[in-house]
Structure 1
Amino acid sequence: MEIKKVVLQDLISKTNLRIARKFETEVFFRTNGRDNLITRGSELAPYIKLPQNYGIEFKYVGQKNKFWQWDLFAQRAKGSERSSALGWKNKYYSSVKVFPLPNLTLRLSYSMKSKQTGLTGSKKLFRHL
Structure 2
Amino acid sequence: MRTVVSVLAIETLLLTSAAANEPVVFHRAHFPDLTVVSVSLVGNEAAASVEYDFDVFISLSQTSADGDVAYSDRGKHKASVRCSPPAAVAVRGVDYAIPTSEAGTPDWKDDLWKAVCKPPVS
**TM-score in same-fold range (> 0.5):** no
Max Rg structure: 1
Query: TM-score w.r.t. structure 2 length?
Result: 0.28
Query: TM-score w.r.t. structure 1 length?
Result: 0.27
